[in-house]
Structure 1
Amino acid sequence: MGRADARRARQGSARRAGKNGKKSGIRRLFTWKKLLGAFLGVCLLGILGFIGLYLYVDVPAGNKDAKLQSNVFKYADGSVMARVGQVNRETVPLSRIPKAVQHTFVAAENKTFYQDSGVDLKGTLRGIINTLRGKGKQGGSTITQQYVKNYYLSQEQTVSRKLQEIVISLKVDQKFQKDDILAGYINTSFYGRGAYGIQAAAQAYYGVDSDKLTVAQGAYLASLLQAPNQYDWAIASDAGKKLVQERWAYTLDNMVEMKWLTPAERAQQKFPVPKPPKPLPGASGQASYIIAAAKQELFAQGVDENEFEAGGWTVTLGIEKNRQKALEASVKRKLTDDLAPDRRPVDRDVQLGATSVDPKTGYVVALYGGAGYPKHYTNNATRSDYQPASTFKPVILASAMENHAVTQTGVPINPNTIYDGTNRRPVVGGTKPFAPPNEDQASYGKITVQTATNNSVNSVFAQMGADVGLDQVKKTAVSLGMNGAKMDVQPAMTLGTMGASPMQMAGVYATFDNHGEKVTPTLVKKAVQSKDGSDKEIPLKNPIGERVLSRTTADTVTSVLTGVVNDGTASDAVKNTAYKAAGKTGTSDDNKSAWFVGYTPNLVTAVGMFGESPQGGAQVTLKGAGGGGRVNGGGYPAKVWADYTENALGDGAGADFDLDTDMGAAVPPPAPPTPTHTATAPATPTHSPTAPTTPTGSPTDSGRPTGRPTPPTGGTTAGPPNGGTNGTGGTTGTGGGTGTGGTGTGGANGTGGTGTGTGGNTGGTGTGGGNLPNFGN
């Protein structure tokens, strides 16, 4: 074959190959150069797309749900009373998490956390591929990515959300410090048992605050984040328990590798079995009233309500756990155990409220508001719709002394001033006619203010209010903490017809106890807001305010009120106590309320008992409650007070009042003068006894003669100083109202006779040989 033939053969063969050569054409199209170019083009497009995405996606505002926290209310000793909120989370700064515990989370989740850029590209790519393949939730994320997912995004598993996570994580890592990211991660993660964040988890699993966690406990909590429910020791299967122990050991071993633990320290660690789960402490029982009142107190001091309800607050109260329990037990023991609402319909109407205050600090140490939510929503300790009745009377006396008031005849008003205690005696000099009845229509005649206070004599204090001036009385009451808006300036206000709460009355009496420096009963000792990784303490008002009464006035009122406890309307309930006490009873019109407000040098407690119909809440009488007749302040209220006070005082039971006064029942009566010589008896009597002249300045409703020794109760007048020839007593002295008659002393060798006081009591017997007077009994 020649060259021409060979050429033609080759050309024919090429044409035949062209007809059947599709495969070779595909090869020419998909050369390795073209494939590489395409790959690089796709990569370039991906990079450009990612750059565009990076520029387009900003770090969003935090997820609203991730910001939700509970508010924690604590007792004075720091133990938790309740956690209240939609989410059980309390965000804490890293300063409240031990450094070693911080390291457990890094060791468990992301050993390169402090060096990486916030993203694990290999792990993330693996997660994206597995997501595309339908394998569900995948791990491999850094701490920064998990924080971004918790705080900025959602738990949704999609490619677009994963890409967002990467971009935001890179930006977050550039924008924030590693410690800020770690704090956010630890505080937003879910640990099981309904606990979000390490503080809630520390309480849920170990019953401690985050700053008290050990390394071993921190390693367990860090291990939980991989599978909270599966690894919760209380509900975990045997396999789950084995897995969490392995995870716990893995975490500690990584800490050794990172040189955060020494091998010796690692060897000492023992697996910390968590405590069994408990229900979250919530706002039930008395806590429901305490928390609601504490919140109102904070709002009144400028805390924004919406901001507070968003959570993140730790509120430490003045409530002392042991005293709170003692008050609740005393109410049950001395009142509710006596009630039988199934048999006595009136017992269904009984409500009781009480507030107990430390007079030196002003903090409320115990509070009783009622049966608790949802049985009774009104807080009986803070409600002010019932009359305080005669517990208001000490305010009138305080106003009289503070304003240097005098009686209608110009005699200064003090505990020794004598008034007319006649039942329904018309008030003289008042703004309008007023003649109130005394309890049980009793008439007392001429009595001192001390005796009138002991027996809660309405006619005396109605007249005293007119003598002081009702406007001045109101001014004093408001300065002591009572609500002037509920105080109508009318004669009846002297009987305590305004509205007042046990908390307000506790404040009034605490001011007496605090020597005249105002005490405003306060629940909240400290309020801290945890926000944006830091703690902010809110400044609060001091419960102890300025002086509103002179010390002499306040201490004199206290001295007078010891007589109510020792000899007056509260003596039956409070007698034979091992502590010094003062107080005042009160029973309102129609027996709709009954009160006792009492105090010792270290504790003030107001107890109010109220008649409230379960249907509609109308005020009704308490008469017949507990199976008795009228309910007086010296009954159930005083019994609850005495029982609680005995149990609540502790080491303070032996304290004595430090009083700067020379008046009132707490001041001992003056000692009789000591004879300076011995009288010699005459050989023969030379005269007969002569009748004394009637003393001038006889006691009236507004005063007593001056210059005479003042006995502790009535206006007693001494008999003539010397006995007669045969040793008979002198002429009978005149008793002042309920005072006792005096007797004279006998002559030289005789025995003094017995005088009879006009107050109805028998005079004492004088002794022979002296020239000094003896007072009647």
Structure 2
Amino acid sequence: MALRTLSGGVPAATGRGGSAGEPRAGAGSRRAARQPRRKLPSWVPVDRLAVLLPLARRMRPHYPRPGRQGFRRWIPSWRQLMGSLLITVGLVTTGLALVYWRTEIPEDLNSFATQQDNVYYWDDGTVMARTGWVRRQEMPLEEVPEDVRWAVLAAENASFYEDPGISPSGITRAVTRMLGGGETQGGSTITQQYVKNAYLNQDQTFSRKFTEMMLALKVDNKFSKDEILEGYLNTSWFGRGTYGIQRASQAYYGKEVSELNASEGAFLASLLKGAGLYDPALGGGNRERAVERWEWTLDRMVEIGRLSPAERAKYTKFPEPTEVTGGRTDLSGQQGYLVELAKSYVTRSGKVSDAEFDLGGYQVYTTFNKTRTEALDKAVHTARAKLDPKKREEDTFVRTGAATVGADGKILALYGGPGFLKQGFNESNAVTVPAGSAFTPFVYAAALSEGVMRERQGPRVPVTPSTPYDGRHNASLMTPEGPYWDRDGKVVKGQNDGGKSWGEAITLREAMVNSVNMPFLQLGMDVGLDRVRRHAVNAGLLPSSMGPQKPAFSLGTSTPSAIRMATAYGTFAAKGKHTEPYSVLRVTRNGQKVPLPAVRSTQALSADVARKVTEALEGVMEEGTGATARVPGVRAAGKTGTTQDNKAAWFVGYTEQEATAVVLYRMDLRKLDLMPLDRVAGADAGTLGSRLPADIWRDYTEGRTKGAARP
């Protein structure tokens, strides 16, 4: 084959018997029909293409890799890996640069600066309370003491003045949590937190986190560090409805932020992690967490060189914040407890954060009845007037909780204590007081539903109200295998109140009417304590309040709140149908409905079992231990409740429409230890429990039905 050169210098082949570019003779019509080859433009370096094109063909990735067998064909070479990595890095860098370039800092801050009151309504639609905690006051950074500033930085972002506005390690943690299915949170710098507070929402999503980081870089480049820190301190949420460190200083210490010291600043810094966990006024272990965080923050200030060891040594006593005060709240008396209960329901069930709720604008329509609330408050005050702590030491630390819950689950009224502004602890919702013998109706209901088993591997035997049981004092507790032995090898014996024996055979109804302990102690063992527990929970008691499953379980070692006891007895009133208690009918925010879970009921007990329990409890009020609570003209059922150590007294009564539980106990809230009720209100020595709960129920029922038509 002869060679010739194109105008660009590329060799071209010429066939035998003809010139280049012309088909050979006899090539046939198909070759003759081919289009003539286009010439390359004169500016194309054809000689270089001749070298580069083969090289490009060799560099072109061959995947799966030729010349390999099996799975090895799919393993990329190091050249392919490096090439892919470089391309990926380039694309990501370019993408991030483009996003950063297109990110703009919003001109306006979030709506917290235009917050509104939250309004609560009684069940009849009239206004119950307005809460207006949320206020924000701009405070120049120079007015914030340097020690207070560094307390915040030590707790939140010690490298604030050196970082670029974001934390690479924090970003890594956020991405890791996201990939692991967790929330994309944690590790944010002060700048990121300020961006989130001032420009974004509180959603924990990857897109929001990514936007937060881009904005943080922009903000860090546009504003000085001091400007960012000032904005952060003025927009952060500190609890008690306050935004900004100036309002927080007023809410927790009643003074200007300029008057704070490093110790007080360290406490306020702890609130940035969540006031719901660190505000001591909210109870629930908050004070212990706050003290631990306060100590850590001061130590951290020493570690980063912003507080001398000598100064640190001065701060050994925790700077106790003041009680919840300030703002136009209408939280005096019982209304504060009602508001807090309703708010808790909205934030929990409506999935509204505390910070969002405190921005305001919510209209909360509650289930609370004003007439019942006032009547219950009056009845409790009348009973407590019989206490005289100045003359009788036994009358000190006496506490009362009460609640009325409708058969349909609506919380209609409660008594939470002497007043929310005096005591934030809600005694109607306390879970520290044993139910005592007020728990026995659940044992009775379980027996009527399940029957009993007295022989090992034997059949379960039905139980009726007339079934006889041993009512003797100190009778041995029996199991299918024989006597029940304790860990010390002693036979466990049941004891009746006052040591009274009721004979070897007393019917279950008679035992309920007269509050005889021994039959129900044995009945619980015969039914099975696990079954008793299940029926109590199905009726409305919380699993977390259940006592240990030992024989005494049947006599009320569980610690339900008054709200839950009223709910569970309301299941009997509702013919066995249970509805979880709720305090809010509906919620709107500036006219827009806030979704709440639908109210649902379950058939916890058969209507027949509920009827038999009610018949026995009606006997309690007609002829038994609850006779002092009887109200003429009102058909009601109820049960007294005492504990063997005499540290609690209950009365729970109900009609067809609602149930009310009243509990009386002695407790020093600083120690959280129950004390005996002996001689409370001048009772005789040896008197078990107290008559005050039954008196409260009677006076309350009379007060709210006075003037109304009676059957």
Counterpart Cα distance in 1 of 2:338 and 2:567:
17
1:495 aligns with 2:495: no
Q: Which moved more, 1:432-441 or 1:504-513?
A: 432-441
For 1:569, the aligned partner's letter is: T
Displacement of 1:578 after TM fit? 1.4
Counterpart Cα distance in 2 of 1:61 and 1:513:
56
Counterpart Cα distance in 1 of 2:601 and 2:433:
26
Counterpart Cα distance in 2 of 1:307 and 1:65:
9
1:558 aligns with 2:558: no
User: CA, structure 1 residues 81+467, in 2 after alignment: closer, same or farther (shift >3 Å)?
Assistant: same
1:308-331 CA deviation, whole Å, 9 max, x = no partner?
Answer: 122111111111111111001111
User: CA, structure 1 residues 428+493, in 2 after alignment: closer, same or farther (shift >3 Å)?
Assistant: same
1:418 aligns with 2:468: yes
Aligned mate of 1:456, from 490, 505, 515: 515
Counterpart Cα distance in 1 of 2:134 and 2:449:
53
For 1:323, the aligned partner's letter is: R
1:213-237 CA deviation, whole Å, 9 max, x = no partner?
Answer: xxxxxxxxxxxxxxxxxxxxxxxxx
Question: Which residue number corresponds to residue 259 of structure 1?
Answer: none
Counterpart Cα distance in 2 of 1:72 and 1:355:
23
1:287 aligns with 2:287: no
Counterpart Cα distance in 2 of 1:539 and 1:614:
34
Displacement of 1:86 after TM fit? 2.6
Matches within 5 A, 1:119-198: none
Displacement of 1:280 after TM fit? 4.5
Larger radius of gyration: 1
Counterpart Cα distance in 2 of 1:612 and 1:337:
18
Q: Secondary structure at the match of 2:352?
A: coil
Q: Is the 8 A contact 1:389 1:587 kept in 2?
A: yes
User: CA, structure 1 residues 63+613, in 2 after alignment: closer, same or farther (shift >3 Å)?
Assistant: closer
For structure 1, the 5+ residue unaligned runs are 1-55, 90-150, 153-278, 656-777
Q: Is the 8 A contact 1:569 1:634 kept in 2?
A: no
User: CA, structure 1 residues 653+600, in 2 after alignment: closer, same or farther (shift >3 Å)?
Assistant: farther
Q: Is the 8 A contact 1:341 1:348 kept in 2?
A: yes
Counterpart Cα distance in 1 of 2:561 and 2:414:
12
Question: Which residue number corresponds to residue 616 of structure 1?
Answer: 671
1:227-267 CA deviation, whole Å, 9 max, x = no partner?
Answer: xxxxxxxxxxxxxxxxxxxxxxxxxxxxxxxxxxxxxxxxx
Q: Is the 8 A contact 1:603 1:649 kept in 2?
A: no
User: CA, structure 1 residues 529+378, in 2 after alignment: closer, same or farther (shift >3 Å)?
Assistant: same
1:599-647 CA deviation, whole Å, 9 max, x = no partner?
Answer: 1122210001111125433211121111113565661101100110122
Aligned mate of 1:307, from 335, 356, 374: 356
Question: Which residue number corresponds to residue 594 of structure 2?
Answer: 537
User: CA, structure 1 residues 422+653, in 2 after alignment: closer, same or farther (shift >3 Å)?
Assistant: farther
Counterpart Cα distance in 2 of 1:634 and 1:508:
22
Displacement of 1:85 after TM fit? 2.8
Counterpart Cα distance in 2 of 1:331 and 1:529:
35
Aligned mate of 2:477, from 409, 412, 427: 427
For structure 2, the 5+ residue unaligned runs are 1-102, 137-197, 200-326, 486-490
Q: Secondary structure at the match of 1:338?
A: coil
Displacement of 1:652 after TM fit? 7.0
Q: Is the 8 A contact 2:677 2:690 kept in 1?
A: no
Question: Which residue number corresponds to residue 372 of structure 2?
Answer: 323
For 1:464, the aligned partner's letter is: L
1:649 aligns with 2:699: no
Aligned mate of 2:527, from 447, 465, 468: 468
Q: TM-score, normalised by structure 1?
A: 0.50
1:700-730 CA deviation, whole Å, 9 max, x = no partner?
Answer: xxxxxxxxxxxxxxxxxxxxxxxxxxxxxxx
User: CA, structure 1 residues 284+500, in 2 after alignment: closer, same or farther (shift >3 Å)?
Assistant: same
Q: Secondary structure at the match of 2:520?
A: helix
For 1:599, the aligned partner's letter is: Y
Counterpart Cα distance in 2 of 1:304 and 1:65:
14
For 1:537, the aligned partner's letter is: V
User: CA, structure 1 residues 281+375, in 2 after alignment: closer, same or farther (shift >3 Å)?
Assistant: closer
1:607 aligns with 2:662: yes
Counterpart Cα distance in 1 of 2:124 and 2:542:
32
User: CA, structure 1 residues 307+614, in 2 after alignment: closer, same or farther (shift >3 Å)?
Assistant: closer
Question: Which residue number corresponds to residue 129 of structure 2?
Answer: 82
Q: TM-score, normalised by structure 2?
A: 0.54
Question: Which residue number corresponds to residue 638 of structure 2?
Answer: 583
For 2:474, the aligned partner's letter is: R
Q: Is the 8 A contact 1:607 1:637 kept in 2?
A: yes
User: CA, structure 1 residues 412+58, in 2 after alignment: closer, same or farther (shift >3 Å)?
Assistant: closer
Q: Secondary structure at the match of 2:640?
A: strand
Q: Is the 8 A contact 2:540 2:571 kept in 1?
A: no
Q: Secondary structure at the match of 1:601?
A: coil
Q: Is the 8 A contact 1:596 1:634 kept in 2?
A: no
Q: Secondary structure at the match of 1:315?
A: strand
Question: Which residue number corresponds to residue 351 of structure 1?
Answer: 399
User: CA, structure 1 residues 603+440, in 2 after alignment: closer, same or farther (shift >3 Å)?
Assistant: same
Displacement of 1:65 after TM fit? 4.7
For 1:521, the aligned partner's letter is: P
Q: Is the 8 A contact 2:631 2:701 kept in 1?
A: no
Q: Is the 8 A contact 1:585 1:634 kept in 2?
A: no
Q: Is the 8 A contact 1:578 1:653 kept in 2?
A: no
Identical residues among aligned pairs (%): 34
Q: Is the 8 A contact 1:561 1:583 kept in 2?
A: yes
For 1:440, the aligned partner's letter is: G
Displacement of 1:343 after TM fit? 1.5
User: CA, structure 1 residues 604+576, in 2 after alignment: closer, same or farther (shift >3 Å)?
Assistant: closer
Q: What do you get for the CA RMSD once the two structures are aligned?
A: 2.6
Question: Which residue number corresponds to residue 225 of structure 1?
Answer: none
Counterpart Cα distance in 2 of 1:638 and 1:367:
16
Q: Is the 8 A contact 1:512 1:555 kept in 2?
A: yes
1:297 aligns with 2:345: yes
